[in-house]
Amino acid sequence: MKCPRPFLSAEITQHGEVRLCCPSWLPTSIGNIKDKDVWNSEIAIKIRKSILDENYEYCRYEFCPFLSSGINLEENPSENAINSIENNETKLSYGPEKVVACYDRSCSLHCKSCRSEVIMEDSQDLHNHFLRFIKDTKHLTLLGSGELFSSKVILNWLSNFDKTKFPKLNHICILSNGLLFNKPNWEKIMPVQHLVKEIKISMDAVSKETYLLNREGGDFDTLINNLNFIKTLNIKTYLVFVVQKNNFFEMKEFVTFARKYNFHPTFILLDNWGTYSKEEYESRAVHLKTNPSFIKFKKTLNDPFFKGSDIYLSNLNQFID
């Protein structure tokens, strides 16, 4: 099977750069959202050809679950994507059907894995281009680069959402740190509540002590209160845990914690987004074979406990014997 991602998805990242998959998995930009027909740019066509040729030269094997572990990233790829792959088409007649918005970095936290300071942005200009870009989009993820409820621009758009302008949109996934995901803010986005089919809450810990180490500026008690509220929504919810040296020993406990809420525990590898020095990253990244904690990390992961069907191990699967 050939990966369908570049044939159906796009991720709009900082400054409006567009990628055909998660930047951690496929870092090459195909252009800017302000560019004319960026979806079919020269580099976009080359990336799709690399998929058809199955050399995946633009992809990062270590971080991509499909390449590192053979995990199917799209259980039900669209008919458009399937036809394009079968017909060896690299210039597509349709727009992106799945889009992840990562162009607004506004967030009240300053987690070291992401940034060194609190960032609040006015993304209105990029947002206007984004709205034109998603005319064919069915599945939208908000907000991969910051906190949805901290973004005045996106929150205002959702609060005044006009479905007639986006008739194909039928699925919204909310990414959040959970601290502002409370009832008053949920009510602000009432026009899109019926479209929200998934929620993903980044947590990176299960104990209060570890949480405060990894979610700088966070409030553990507020998070717990909001998780209790999110549970009442009966929307498929994932708790996300970025694995690193100071938390991998909490992985098992994290699964038990998530199950109490009927949430899906999700684990991903720590990447370096330019916030760590080479030395600090190598010290934190327990998945590196050169890390002193690698053997303990791998032993933890290979516990039969982690074979639960509700656990999503993403790019950690490559370390399971």
Give percent above pLDDT 70 in the chain.
98
* Peptide bond between residue 270 and the one before it cis (omega within 30 degrees of 0): no
Tell me the pTM.
Answer: 0.93
Short-list 183, 181, 129, 116, CA closest to 150: 181
Beta-sheet strands, E only, within the chain = 9-12, 17-19, 31-32, 98-101, 139-142, 171-176, 196-202, 236-243, 264-269
Q: What pLDDT shows up at residue 119?
A: 73
Q: What is the pLDDT of residue 45?
A: 98
CB atoms within 10 A of CB 196: 18
Q: What is the pLDDT of residues 131-186, one digit of tens each?
A: 999 999 999 999 988 899 999 999 999 999 999 999 999 999 999 999 999 999 99
Q: What share of the chain is helix, strand, coil (3-state, %, to 5)?
A: 40, 15, 45
Q: Please tell me the distance from the alpha carbon of residue 290 to that of residue 12, in angstroms, as a whole number.
A: 34
Facing residues of 168 across strands?
Answer: none
Task: Give the residue among 52, 54, 51, 29 at the shortest CA–CA distance from 41.
Answer: 29
Q: CA-CA distance, 2 to 54, in Å (whole number)?
A: 7
Span 42-60, average pLDDT: 96
C-alpha distances (whole Å) from 106 to each of 34, 186, 301 are 21, 18, 34
Is residue 75 very low, low, confident or very high in pLDDT (cuts 50, 70, 90)? Answer: low
State how far the Cα of 96 lies from the Cα of 225, in Å rounded to an integer.
36
